[in-house]
Amino acid sequence: MSDVRLGATDLTVGYRRRAVLSNINVNLHAGELACLIGANGIGKSTLMRTLARAQPRLTGRIELRGRPITDLSPRELAGELAIVLTDRVAVGQLHGYDLVALGRAPHTGWFGRLDDTDRRVIEQALDTTNAGHLAHRPVSELSDGERQRLMIARALAQQPSVLLLDEPTAFLDVAARLELIKLLLSLTDEHGLAVLMSTHDVEHMLRHADSVWLVTPERELISGAPEEIGLAGHLRRMLNDAAAFDPRTGTFTWDTRHSATACITAPQDCSADLLSWTARAVERAGYRISEHHADITVEVRSPGRWLVGSHELDSVATLVAYLRNGR
C-alpha cells in the first residue's frame, strides 16, 4: 500500500496549551480500512477532528493526498474528505433526503441546485446505507441509529476519497454494525476509499479492519495490522487489571488467570457448536478451560445433559449454578 491519502507527521493534537496526543506519525492509504481504538478520554475524537481540520492542530503536519491540509480551500477539503461525528447536529425541520443532499454541497455550492447526477448520488447513498425508508421522515423524529445511517449517507453523498467516522457503530444494533463494517469494506475494496473509524467495538474490528491505530495508556499511537497489534501484546496493555485480552480468540474478558480450571470431554459425535457453547457456559461459571490437569471435568453426555463428577445436570442453567456453587 503506497498511495497515502492522509498522513500525519510529528503531529500534536489537543486544546489551547494542553496536548492530548503527541508525536503522531501515521498514514492512511487508499483502499484501507483503519480503526482507531483506545480508552475513554484518551484523545480519539480529538485526533479525528484534527485530521479533518475541524479543530486546529497544535504542531506538526497533516497532508491530504500530499498537500498540506491547511492549503486546501473549504470546498477542496470537503470534496476530498468527509467526517461523520457522533455529536447531535441541529437539523431543524430537515427531512432525511435533505440531510443527505447537504453532502452534495462541495459539488453544487451551498445554494446550488441539484442536477440529475446529484440526485442519483443521493439515491445511491441512501440505498447503500439502507436508509431509503428514512428519506421522507423529519430527522428530528428519528432514533439515534436511524440518524446515524443518514449521517453516513450524507458523507457518502459527498463522494470523498477519505472518510473519517467517529464511533459510527455507537448507536447501531448488531445487524447494522456488521452491515456498516461490510459497507465500509466494500467502499475500501471496490472504490479505493481510505476509511478511518474510531470505535470501542474492538473485537469486530480486529477481525475486519486492515489496520489498527491503537492509543496506548501512555498516549502513544501505534499502528499495524490487527494480528501484529494483538501478537505484540499491545491490546493486553490497553486494558486495566480488571480485563484481559485472549490472543487466541481475539476477544476481551475479565482476567481469569487465577481461576479454577475445567476440562471438557465429549463423545466423538458431539457437535462443535455444543462443545463450544458448553465451554462458554463453563467460563461464565468462572472456570478457565484447560486441556490438562484441570480442577474439574465437565462431561458432555448429549444435548441438554452434562456430568460433573457424579452429578448429572439437565440444563445449562443448572450446570452453571452447580459449577458456581462448587467453586
Ligand X SMILES: Nc1ncnc2c1ncn2[C@@H]1O[C@H](COP(=O)(O)OP(=O)(O)OP(=O)(O)O)[C@@H](O)[C@H]1O
In the complex, minimum distance from the CB of residue 180 to ligand X, in angstroms, rounded to a whole number: 18
Q: Which of 6, 26, 42, 58 binds ligand X (CB under 6 A)?
A: 42
Closer by beta carbon to ligand X, 42 or else 84: 42
Q: Which stretch binds ligand X (CB under 6 A): 44-52, 128-136, 185-193, 247-255?
A: 44-52
Q: CB under 6 A: which stretch of 43-51, 110-118, 257-265, 302-310 binds ligand X?
A: 43-51
* Beta carbon nearer to ligand X, 40 or 310: 40
Q: Report, in Å, the least distance between residue 262 CB and ligand X.
A: 35
> Does residue 164 bind ligand X (CB under 6 A)?
no
Give min distance, CB of 43 to ligand X, in A. Answer: 4
Which grid coordinates belong to 216? 496506548
Instruction: Tell me which of 22, 46, 108, 261 binds ligand X, using CB under 6 A.
Output: 46
Told to check if 45 binds ligand X by CB under 6 A, we report yes
Residue 202 makes contact with ligand X by CB under 6 A: no
- By C-beta, is 100 or 205 nearer to ligand X? 205
Counting contacts by CB under 6 A, is residue 92 touching ligand X?
A: no
CB of 187 to ligand X, least distance (A): 23
Query: Between residues 39 and 185, which has the closer beta carbon with respect to ligand X?
Result: 39
Residue 40 sits in the site that holds ligand X (CB under 6 A)? yes
Task: Candidates 9, 10, 15, 174: give the one binding ligand X (CB under 6 A).
Answer: 15
Is residue 213 within 8 A of residue 199, CB to CB? The reply is no
Nearest to 166 by CA among 115, 201, 123: 201
d(CA 307, CA 235): 36
The single-letter DSSP state of residue 133 is: G
Binders of ligand X in range 20-39 (CB under 6 A) = 20, 38
44 near ligand X (CB under 6 A): yes
Determine the distance from the C-alpha atom of residue 92 to the mean position of all C-alpha atoms in its chain, rounded to a whole number.
29
Pick between residue 215 and residue 313 the one whose CB is nearest to ligand X: 215
Exposed (0-12), middle (13-18) or buried (19+): which is 62, by Cβ within 10 Å? buried
Beta strands at 261-265 and 162-166: parallel, antiparallel or unpaired: unpaired
> What are the start-end ranges of the H helices in 56-168?
74-80, 96-101, 105-108, 116-128, 144-157
Torsion, Cα of 98, 104, 108, 109 (10° steps): 80
**For ligand X, the closer CB: 41 or 92:** 41
Q: Could you give phi then psi for residue 161, rounded to 5 degrees?
A: -100, -15
Site membership for ligand X, residue 43 (CB under 6 A)? yes
Least distance in Å: CB of 45 to ligand X? 3
Give CB contacts under 8 A, 24+ apart, made by 40-44: 42/215, 42/217, 42/219, 43/13, 43/14, 43/215, 43/219, 44/166, 44/198, 44/215
Residue (27 or 45) nearer to ligand X, CB: 45
**C-beta of residue 173 within 8 angstroms of C-beta of residue 149:** no
Among 2, 17, 41, 190, binds ligand X (CB under 6 A): 41
Closest CA to 158 of 105, 116, 85: 105
**Over the Cα atoms of the chain, what is R_g?**
24
CB of 220: closest distance to ligand X in angstroms?
Answer: 14
Amino acid making up residue 9: T
Residue 268 DSSP class: T
| CB 83, min distance to ligand X, A | 13
By the rule CB under 6 A, 197 interacts with ligand X: no
Q: Which residues bind ligand X (CB under 6 A)?
A: 15, 20, 38, 40-46
